[in-house]
Structure 1
């Protein structure tokens, strides 16, 4: 009987210490809300807020950037887009969301629409993998990898992933 109780206690402790919660997903979505807002308003300071100073950014499988370079690229790009009156809207869908109270791994597909509803509308898709760390109650992106997988990511893959608020799937 003691062995059974010890095993039950051990399994329960392990289960709860590694389980993710809806609260964590909702809190992580606050980071994603700022991410969306950064693109909508072309505000690079929001990108700076949601990324860790220790960021590792892997782009398209061909280069690695640090925090300063990554944020400065957004500053330059967003300022250029403002002058050119370009617009951007980004949305995420997920096929994997794993978290505990301090770390999270999120994988999915993003859709970036530039100049939505105009003759110049352009749509881009990419698969992403992001690691986040919770520090002082705030989730920040510590690693961000994306790739179009050789141009094979599109609307079908995007629609097959789950919506950002579809917590039941995770």
Structure 2
């Protein structure tokens, strides 16, 4: 009986280790998120091209599916308009779910997009997102990106309730 217990303990520890997410993965995924946020801050769509898979599935506003090419083209145009009108952009992310293994990650949370921060024209928009990452040669790339305002029901309270991007320990098994 003692040997059976030891074997079961060994198997359960190994199963948990092989399926549990790691802090290292979250740290690496955060590097991709940092680039994502930098693209919005600098209005540079070329950054977005480096952090998405070419077979990206983009579900925008909860009502349509957009290809990689259309997604990038839309951001190139949007960022160019913002630059031309001298507007600023800042996106912040908070999380209520972060799951990963060696190859795939699923991250869900709330974003806050602020335009013209610190000016009289400052305006913030909120939405819920679900992003799937794929690990490609050590770089975490966005393979699926879904967001929705949930019929404008997502707001500052939801954003504050979610966890900070660097609060990694909340998501470890």
TM range (shorter): over 0.9
Deviation at 1:93, TM superposition (A): 0.3
Asked if 1:107 is matched to 2:108, the reply is yes
1:98-122: per-residue Cα shift (whole Å, max 9, x none)? 1111110000000000011112211
TM-score, scaled to structure 2 = 0.95
Q: Which moved more, 1:61-70 or 1:7-16?
A: 7-16
Name the counterpart of 1:142.
Answer: 143
Name the counterpart of 2:127.
Answer: 126
Name the counterpart of 2:46.
Answer: 45
Please, what is the CA RMSD of the aligned residues? 1.0
Counterparts of 1:143-162 in structure 2, within 5 Å, are 143-162=144-163
| Cα distance in 1, alignment partners of residues 107 and 149 from structure 2 | 16
Deviation at 1:51, TM superposition (A): 0.7
Deviation at 1:124, TM superposition (A): 0.2
Name the counterpart of 1:34.
Answer: 35
| Cα distance in 2, alignment partners of residues 152 and 47 from structure 1 | 27
Name the counterpart of 2:98.
Answer: 97
Name the counterpart of 1:73.
Answer: 74
| Cα distance in 2, alignment partners of residues 150 and 15 from structure 1 | 38
Deviation at 1:2, TM superposition (A): 4.4
Deviation at 1:7, TM superposition (A): 2.2
Name the counterpart of 1:8.
Answer: 9
User: Which runs of 5 or more residues in structure 2 are unaligned?
Assistant: none
User: Which runs of 5 or more residues in structure 1 are unaligned?
Assistant: none
| Cα distance in 1, alignment partners of residues 88 and 151 from structure 2 | 25
User: What is the count of residue pairs matched by the alignment?
Assistant: 170
| Cα distance in 1, alignment partners of residues 24 and 105 from structure 2 | 13
Name the counterpart of 2:62.
Answer: 61
| Cα distance in 1, alignment partners of residues 61 and 44 from structure 2 | 23
Deviation at 1:155, TM superposition (A): 0.3
